[in-house]
Amino acid sequence: MSRAALVHSGDIPWPPSVHEFFPPDLFGGNGPWFTKFTLLVWLAVALIIVFFLVAYRDPKMVPGKMQWIAESIYGFNRNDIARDVIGHEGIKFAPYLATLFTFIAVTNIFSIIPGIQISPNSHIAFPAMLAIITYVLYIYWGIRRHGFGKFVKQSLILPDVPWWLLPLLIVIEFAQVFVFRPITLALRLFANMFAGHIVLLVFTLGGFLIAGAGNWFIKPISVVSWALAILITFLEALICLLQAYVFVMLTSSYLQTSLAEEH
* Residue ranges that bind other proteins, judged by CB under 8 A: 1, 3, 6, 15, 17-18, 80, 184, 187-188, 190-192, 194-195, 198-199, 242-243, 245-246, 249-250
Q: Is the peptide bond before 63 cis (omega within 30 degrees of 0)?
A: no
CB closer to other proteins out of 55 and 90:
90
CB of 63: closest distance to other proteins in angstroms? 24
CB closer to other proteins out of 74 and 194:
194
CB closer to other proteins out of 80 and 144:
80
CB of 253: closest distance to other proteins in angstroms? 9
CB of 215: closest distance to other proteins in angstroms? 19
Tallying the residues shown for the chain, one arrives at: 263
CB closer to other proteins out of 55 and 86:
86
CA torsion 225→228→230→235, rounded to 10°?
A: -150
CB closer to other proteins out of 143 and 191:
191
Q: At residue 59, what is the residue type?
A: P
CB of 24: closest distance to other proteins in angstroms? 20
CA gap 89, 148 in Å, rounded: 21
CB of 27: closest distance to other proteins in angstroms? 28
Provide the sign of the torsion angle of the four alpha carbons 148, 151, 157, 160, taken in this order: positive
Phi and psi at 117, nearest 5°, equal 50, 30
3-state secondary structure string across 204-256: HHHHHHHHCCCCCCCCCHHHHHHHHHHHHHHHHHHHHHHHHHHHHHHHHHHHH
CB of 66: closest distance to other proteins in angstroms? 27
Query: Contacts by 218-227 with C-beta closer than 8 Å and gap 24+?
Result: none
CB closer to other proteins out of 46 and 235:
235
